[in-house]
């Protein structure tokens, strides 16, 4: 069968393609209108703008500073309005709805329960409210004709001292909507090895975890996350490029850490637009994802923070299609990579790949094939006539 590689991948195809998202922060994906509503309801007066459109613009511009630390400051406003059960349910439900409308069929959404306790909620109440919201969002999505499954990743903050407590929380709720654990926050000065007790606990409990590493900090962060902590996946991992040498003639040499990451098929949760904002990459065309994909690393594509980056999974794929001329075959490769790397049981991952993802892309490719056939009727007719 002729490959779709001879055809340009369109925004409509990208939007309708089944997508898998592994790296997305709940407090980084709120609708601007929801922030305004919740601020009004809770009495929060710290928003820089009260008009939803202007507020959305403010978040994107504030996140464009080129500094990860400045980027993280924007979360003070979103977390401020996510302190009640009702707010958490609403935000989680809208998250699932928005992703499903964009064609995401499976998502792992991360958040830090310790950042939502200011109004008196317990850690358990936070988790249960978010889980309730995800289930509600899945239900609404089905009513709209979309299908999505959402799992939660509980995040501990690297600068705090509650990682073991959050890891234990993730383990208690592992069969009730929580699929794994994460640590996040500024990398510099807060190495993952500060949280070894949490990671050792999770390994003893046979639980899954990912670690933000190799975004603002370099190879030592990645090495520690893997060799000291035992991470299943790398959040970002973009700086693995520092261990790859490309000669003038195009030949490539992998250093020992890069070779290990590729050989062990360690998933990289790449977030292109976010990486541009935090200066982890200088442009889409020069983003390491292009080389890493060519070298067959286990690369996945993600949004990180949809509000701050003004993005979606479709927009991320659109940027990559424009930069690297990717086809539906490439997008399917990224998507299958992500589903293989998800923190749900193997048989469920396999069913998603075989029953949802591959058929979805096959349908899109079939549409292209029939469009090509329809576009050349005169040629086909003339050819038949010449044989008479």
Active site residues: 215
Integer Cα distance of 277 and 287 in angstroms: 12
Torsion of CA 98, 27, 306, 338, to 10 degrees: -80
- 3 state DSSP class of 164: helix
Q: Where are the alpha helices (DSSP H) in the chain?
A: 11-16, 32-42, 52-63, 68-73, 75-80, 85-101, 123-143, 163-172, 196-204, 219-223, 256-263, 272-277, 289-294, 306-309, 313-324, 328-340, 346-352, 358-374, 377-386
Centroid of chain to Cα 125: 25
Pairing of strands 233-236, 299-301: unpaired
Rounded distance, CA 358 to CA 142, Å?
A: 20
Measure the CA–CA gap between 23 and 305, rounded to whole angstroms: 9
Q: How far is CA 107 from the centre of its chain?
A: 8
SS3 116: coil
């Amino acid at each position: 069968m002729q490959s779709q590689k001879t055809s340009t991948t369109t925004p409509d195809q990208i939007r309708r393609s089944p997508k898998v998202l592994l790296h997305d922060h709940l407090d980084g994906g709120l609708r601007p209108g929801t922030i305004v509503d919740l601020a009004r309801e809770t009495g929060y007066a710290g928003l820089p703008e009260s008009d939803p459109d202007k507020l959305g613009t403010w978040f994107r511009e504030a996140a464009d500073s080129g500094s990860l630390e400045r980027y993280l400051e924007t979360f003070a406003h979103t977390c401020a309005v996510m302190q009640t059960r009702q707010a958490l349910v609403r935000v989680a439900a809208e998250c699932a709805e928005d992703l499903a409308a964009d064609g995401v069929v499976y998502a792992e959404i991360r958040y830090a329960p310790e950042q939502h306790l200011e109004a008196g909620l317990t850690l358990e109440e936070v988790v249960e409210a978010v889980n309730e919201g995800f289930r509600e969002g899945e239900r609404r999505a089905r009513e709209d004709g979309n299908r999505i499954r959402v799992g939660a990743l509980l995040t501990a903050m690297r600068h705090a001292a509650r990682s073991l407590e959050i890891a234990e929380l993730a383990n208690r709720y592992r069969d009730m909507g929580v699929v794994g654990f994460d640590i996040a926050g500024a990398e510099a000065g807060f190495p993952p090895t500060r949280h070894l007790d949490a990671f050792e606990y999770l390994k003893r409990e046979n639980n899954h975890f990912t670690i933000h590493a190799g975004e603002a900090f370099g190879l030592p962060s990645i090495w520690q996350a893997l060799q000291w902590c035992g991470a299943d996946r790398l959040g970002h991992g973009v700086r693995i490029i520092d261990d790859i040498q490309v000669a003038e003639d195009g030949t490539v040499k992998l250093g020992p850490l890069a070779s290990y990451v590729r050989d062990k098929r360690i998933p990289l949760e790449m977030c292109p637009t976010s990486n541009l904002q935090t200066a982890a990459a200088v442009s889409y065309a020069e983003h390491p994802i292009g080389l890493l994909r060519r070298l067959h690393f286990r690369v996945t594509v993600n949004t990180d923070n949809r509000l701050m980056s003004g993005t979606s999974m479709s927009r991320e794929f659109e940027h990559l299609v424009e930069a690297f001329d990717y086809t539906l075959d490439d997008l399917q490769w990224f998507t299958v990579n992500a589903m293989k790397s998800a923190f749900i049981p193997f048989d469920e991952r396999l069913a998603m790949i075989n029953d949802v993802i591959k058929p979805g892309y096959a349908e899109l490719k079939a549409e292209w094939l029939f469009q090509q056939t329809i576009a050349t009727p005169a040629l086909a007719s003339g050819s038949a006539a010449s044989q008479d």
